[in-house]
Copies of this chain bind each other. A is one copy, B any other.
Amino acid sequence: MTGTYMPESPNNTTFREQLNLAQHAAMEADKSMLSFGLGISDPKAIFGTTANLAESFGSHRVFDMPTSENAMTGIGIGAAIAGSRVLMTHQRMDFFLLAMDQLVNNAAKWHYMFNGQMKVPLTIRLIVGRGWGQGPTHAQNLQSWFAHVPGLKVVVPSKTDAVASQLYSAIMDDNPVIFIEHRWLHEQQCGSTSVLPLQSPHESVRVHRQGADCTIVANSFMVLEALIAADFLQHRGINVEVVETVSLEQSEWQKIYDSVEKTGRLLVCDSAHGHFSVASEVVSSVTEQCFKALTEAPRRLCLPPYPEPTSYYLTKPFYRNANDIVAAVAEMMGVKVAGGIELDVSTPHDVPGNWFKGPF
């Protein structure tokens, strides 16, 4: 592969590098593939995730675009229908609101309404912002919108070991796939796990941690918070099962139901607003499927029902973190858990790490 980030040891790799690698591999594997988006080939290369793609594959296949989100989405769909494999990238999901007509009225329905005669191999990367004053219009995660529309697939990565294979399989999927990336994950190291091969079969649900006391269902950045909470709880004798919804497709959630059948308790950690949401669907699907097994009312930990304010001082209580998860689990278990997780006080609450210096 040309021009790809290739870390010396796979464990040293980051989420961002893995995203880049998947794109290089896909462009290489399918010569019909096109990739475009605002700033995709500029010096910042979408937080580094699209680095070297234009250089490696040429500006006829990888290109920047006018600020025309609606038509450009239609153009991506039209090219995909014609036989190109298409990847589009948006620096923020919020900008993509301009393109809902193309996405919902065309992409999602095309294969269906033309009776299977055409298909739309299109993947759309949408990046969700958070903190550093992203504010009301640069931090939205409308994942439940996409999940509600028949004909769209929604994939929400969270871990560096799987993200390359998840993006690769999204791109190679012959259906429109919405790929929702949280900005705070980009520098996440792979850690001790090894990277999954690009062509690994797609797992809709990943069970990251086994436990008999409570099922925590999470996605995106909340998976990381859930794993921290799980660690802490384990040292207090509470074993939670951490289950990730990689695909927002409730017919593929059997592993969640299996888990709740075992634990009898459900806590859903959604990275979006909680009302009329993905969390609502998890709670209702589980309630329908596992009613007898549930020993407690399921709970949701989600964003409050107002927009992200911009100010540092106002965002403090906006996002749920590992301590909130610990508290919720303790309440559900009817136990007191002493102390709290010592958060890294050297990092302000509105940045993912000290590497982040703003402004975007």
Contact = CB atoms under 8 A, between A and B. Distances in A.
A56 interface: no
B283 A275 contact: no
Contacts of A250: 275-276
Nearest to A69: B101
Contacts of A189: none
A233 to B, nearest CB: 22
A180 to B, nearest CB: 14
A295 to B, nearest CB: 10
Interface residues of A, number: 52
B297 A291 contact: yes
Nearest to A104: B97
A144 interface: yes
Contact of A144 (B276, B284, B296, B300): B276
Interface in A263-282: 273, 275-281
Interface string A129-168: 0000001110010101101111100000000000000000
Interface of A: 70, 94, 97-98, 100-101, 104-105, 108-109, 112-113, 135-137, 140, 142, 144-145, 147-151, 248, 250, 273, 275-281, 283-285, 287-288, 291-292, 294, 296-300, 305-307, 309-310
Given A144-B148, A280-B283, A292-B297, 17 more contacts: A97-B104, A98-B100, A104-B142, A105-B136, A113-B135, A113-B136, A113-B307, A113-B309, A113-B310, A148-B276, A280-B280, A283-B284, A283-B287, A283-B288, A284-B284, A288-B297, A291-B294
